[in-house]
Structure 1
Amino acid sequence: MYRMKYSCAAESYAIEYVASCRVRTLPEYTHPGHKVNTYVLRDVSKSVRGAAYYATAVWWSQLSRFGMRSNMMFYASEYRRGRRNVLSWSKMAWWNNRHLGCSVRHCGSFYYIACMYSPGYGFENIFLCLHIL
């Protein structure tokens, strides 16, 4: 796993993703070369920083809550685990990620958070990560 660098391009895609406050999945052509994690936080008493921290903690906690194969191999079956998947965690931990950018939008009664990762994954049946530092 590489040490990621913050990317203004990735941040720009994240800003566009949450700008309208419409919670939906956007087509990949709106953020080419990036994978996205999104989260809706209904607790608006948190600060923007607190909302970002909360979302990333939820995504990362998927590993401890739902588990991953001991060989860290990512199989296509991961997409069929329903709500007990580790897809958000894997987008964060994918071995070849190098760039990261996030945005938090206050949308009245909720925060809409998006983080973009690149180049991200696109393969199954490969090792997810070699080392988590």
Structure 2
Amino acid sequence: MLSLIWDCVLEDNAIQYVKTCPTTNYIPGNDEQPGENLHRVPISGDIPTYRDAIKNAVVAWWKVVRQYPGPGSTAMFYPIHYDSPIATYTRMAWSSTRRLGCSIGQCSSVYVVVCRYAPRGNAIYYPMYNVGMVCSACPRGTMCRPDRGLCV
């Protein structure tokens, strides 16, 4: 699986969306649009800064893999996964996603964190990734970073 790279266009799109103080994910009109995770974090003593809010969002998106049924050992993405909480995890872990751009903003008493992913994943009846040993299928011209478990 390849490491994600930062995309300034996705970041700018996320910045513009955060400025609207959204309460739900943007629903893309077609498969060419990026995937998106959105998290709203109440501003509190436990979450006082943007950095804390970003960490809270990423942990929330990732931890669902231990809380909800997911693609399982086959890594196959089914219709039941599409609107389930597991979709935040699968968007981040989708192997064909290459680019990432995020933003955070303050909207009243909450922080809003938005990350966009391209090309988007969560394609029904497709595997999230090919099951195998870490770095067993690094593309030509890349190398394995065992500490990350990713090809770079």
Give me the TM-score of the superposition, normalised by structure 1: 0.85
**Structure 1, unpaired ranges of 5+:** none
Q: Which of 1 and 2 has higher RCO (CA within 8 Å, sep 6+)? A: 1
Q: Which has the higher helix share?
A: 1
The superposition leaves residues 5-44 of structure 1 with CA deviations (integer Å, 9 ceiling, x where unpaired) of 0110110111111102142443425xx5311100110134
Q: Which residue of 2 aligns with 1:71?
A: 74
1:80 Cα deviation after fit: 5.8
Over 3 Å counting, the alpha-carbon distance change for 1:3 and 1:104 in structure 2 is same
Other structure's SS at 2:74 match:
coil
* Bigger radius of gyration among the two: 2
1:108 Cα deviation after fit: 2.4
Q: Which residue of 2 aligns with 1:4?
A: 4
Matches within 5 A, 1:1-133: 1-28=1-28, 33-45=33-45, 46-68=48-70, 69-79=72-82, 81=84, 85-121=85-121, 123-130=123-130, 133=149
Other structure's SS at 2:112 match:
strand
Q: CA RMSD for the aligned pairs?
A: 2.0
Q: Is the 8 A contact 1:44 1:111 kept in 2?
A: no
Identity of aligned residues (%): 26
- Between the two proteins, the alignment pairs up a number of residues equal to 128
Other structure's SS at 1:116 match:
strand
Give me the TM-score of the superposition, normalised by structure 2: 0.75
**Structure 2, unpaired ranges of 5+:** 135-147
Over 3 Å counting, the alpha-carbon distance change for 1:12 and 1:25 in structure 2 is same
